[in-house]
Structure 1
Amino acid sequence: MEVREVALAAGESYELRLTGRGARGYVWTWQVTGDADAVSVSEAAPAPAEMLPGASLERTYVVHGRCPGGRARIRFAQVRPPYPQEAPYDEFVLEVEVRAAKG
């Protein structure tokens, strides 16, 4: 499991790219702990040209810094939803510190 630390200013974004395995039934899920209001997470839509049948797709997630002074931990897990008892195929943790915006 890889762990990465980033510092964002309030209003700043960070893009995280993770390799997908959708053809094998895996999806990335995420859970925010710590100061959950300090960040928001969304998935960027893949470009249509990248969507080839059976291909592994790189997934892009955008983390936005929201509340200065907050610290959040985002745990991404690659799982197969029909089999919730299985351990994740892969995991990634992003530690985020949100600072005041420079102005």
Structure 2
Amino acid sequence: MEVREVALGAGESYELRLTGRGACGYVWTWQVSGDADAVSVSEAAPAPAEAVPGAPVERGYLVRGRRPGGRARIRFAQVRPPYPDEAPYDEFVLEVEVTAAP
């Protein structure tokens, strides 16, 4: 599991790219803890690409700082939705500190 720390100004965004395993039925999910209202997370529009069947596909997620002084921890987990009790295939943690706008 990789852990990355970023500092964002209020209103500033950070794009995170994670490799997917959609051909195997896995999707990335996320959960925000800490000051959950300090950030927002959304899925970025996928980049147009010619995908080879069965090849990994990179997914983008946009994290935006919302409330200065907040600290949030975003845990991304690569799971297969039909098997909720199965351990994640991969995990990624993003620690975010939101500062005053630059």
Distance 2:13 2:48 in 1: 23
CA distance in 2, matches of 1:95, 1:57: 24
Q: Aligned equivalents of 1:19 and 1:49: distance in 2?
A: 14
**Structure 1 runs, 4 residues or longer, greater than 6 Å off:** none
TM-score scaled by structure 1?
A: 0.94
Residues in 1 aligned to 2:52 and 2:11: alpha-carbon distance in whole angstroms: 34
Aligned residues of 1:27 and 1:78 also touching (Cα < 8 A) = yes
CA distance in 2, matches of 1:4, 1:75: 11
Question: Residue 26 of structure 1 corresponds to which residue in structure 2?
Answer: 26
Identity of aligned residues (%): 86
Q: CA contact under 8 A between 1:38 and 1:71: conserved in structure 2?
A: yes
SS at match of 1:69: coil
Partner of 2:35: 35
Q: Which residue identity is paired with 1:71?
A: R
Distance in 2, Cα, partners of 1:80 & 1:44: 20
Q: Which runs of 5+ in 2 are unaligned?
A: none
Residue segments in structure 1 that go unaligned for 5+ positions in a row: none
Q: 1:85 to 1:15 in 2, by over 3 A?
A: same
Matches within 5 A, 1:32-71: 32-71=32-71
CA distance in 2: counterparts of 1:88 and 1:58, whole angstroms: 17
Contact 1:50 1:57 survives alignment (8 Å):
no
Aligned length: 102
* Inter-CA distance 68–83: structure 2 relative to 1 (3 Å threshold): same
Matched AA of 1:75: R
1:76-91 to 2 correspondences below 5 Å: 76-91=76-91
Deviation at 1:53, TM superposition (A): 3.1
